[in-house]
Amino acid sequence: MNQKMFKQKGKNLSDSDNKYRKEKVSDNKKWSGHHVSECAEESPRILDRLGGLRYEKAPAGDNRLAKVSSVARSRSFREKEGKVLLEGRRLICDALSAGASPQTLFFSMVERLQELPLDKLQQVKLIKVKYEDMKTWSDLVTPQGVIAIFSKPDASRLAFPKDIRHQSVPLFLICDNVRDAGNLGTILRCAAAAGCDRVLLTKGCVDAWEPKVLRAAMGAHFRLPVFPNLDWDDISKHLPKDVIVHIADNCSSFTKDPVSAPVSGQIQNVTLDKSSESDSDEDSDDELSLPCVKPQVYHESWAQKSTALVIGGETCELSLEALGLAEETEGRRIFVPMAPGAESLNSAMAASILLFEGRRQLLKVSDKTRRRARSKML
């Protein structure tokens, strides 16, 4: 009997001890792994730390995160629904700062939510999910614990950082058939760093809102205007009237200039219209009818006023429209001399070299103009 009473007493102590532990967790706001305890979630102190924001906890079997992951995997779904998926604190903060419209935000810890500008999440649906679920549907090896669905941003309505825009130069980048997501993202990052005015993407380019493009661009989408999925007629509307269009090319043999010879460069040859292809002797006449654009080494003067640069993809040939626009504006085929036998630079590497050289030349012209204006005033 004494042994039975001892066991019952121990059981009562154990129950009391467990109750005490739960109350202590609630009071001290202790965290368990990646998830907040239910007691902590209901605490008024947590709500105060979130500025009064309310969120819901996804129940077991909730598949909302799995559904929105299709936004990241399907271009057609993004275009149809008008949504994009952004993952990670920095990218989401950049989007919020630029005025993008968030719809739903998934997070694994309250601490991750606190790292975001809470005042811009007042109308956003907040859902707390398990970290394991986020890891399952994330494209990252180690997710940062926050994923957001935004309305597809319109570059003409975003508010870009003023300090960056004030340092921009009249340099426009046109991406023609750039289909590698990593390359396009790196090109956008270079364009933002070089102070480009805007980036124009033809319909042949990979979607600018692909997850891999977003990761490689490191927030460039929200630092300068990026206009995707454009026809060549639309591209002309986004450029100043006095712009000169140059192309980054390998100076192919498709030219009317008999003096120029093929030179190692960056981008592929010109794409011919299929309607002009023929087995007759008129093929040579078709080649001669191609636009004539003279080659020029990259470090010579080519960016003196509003300048546009066309960068083509590595596996896709440069469009005939690009060459025609360069001829029409008296542009050049800009190339980077390379050591004999070396492989041509990829499109991202070529873009970085040419964009920063273009920026250097434009700033030099701007500096000369300011000096002349000062000397006249004196």
pLDDT tens string 145-187: 999 999 999 999 999 998 888 899 999 999 999 999 999 999 9
Beta sheet of 125-128, edge-to-edge order = 56-57, 125-128, 102-107, 146-151, 83-87
Are the CB atoms for 173 and 308 separated by under 8 Å? yes
For the residues 116-124, what does the mean pLDDT come to?
A: 93
Helices 347-377 and 181-193, interaxial angle, to 10°? 10
Task: Output the pLDDT for position 256.
Answer: 40
Task: Output the pLDDT for position 65.
Answer: 87
pLDDT in tens, 71-103: 778 898 898 889 999 999 999 999 999 999 999
pLDDT band at residue 372 under the 50/70/90 scheme: confident
358 SS3 class = helix
Position 296 pLDDT exceeds 80: yes
Task: Tell which wins on pLDDT, 245 or 15.
Answer: 245
Task: Tell which wins on pLDDT, 324 or 25.
Answer: 324
Task: Output the pLDDT for position 318.
Answer: 79
Position 212 pLDDT exceeds 80: yes
What is the amino acid identity at position 122? Q
Helix ranges (H only) for the chain are 2-28, 38-41, 44-49, 64-73, 75-81, 89-97, 110-114, 131-137, 162-166, 181-193, 211-217, 232-237, 283-288, 320-328, 347-377
Task: Output the pLDDT for position 52.
Answer: 79
Position 277 pLDDT exceeds 70: no
Give residue for tokens 């002309």: 236
pLDDT in tens, 105-114: 999 999 999 9
pLDDT band at residue 37 under the 50/70/90 scheme: very low
For the residues 349-371, what does the mean pLDDT come to?
A: 95
For the residues 308-334, what does the mean pLDDT come to?
A: 91
Give the containing element (helix H, strand E) for 348. Answer: helix 347-377
For the residues 225-246, what does the mean pLDDT come to?
A: 96
∠ CA 148-150-152, nearest 5°, is 145
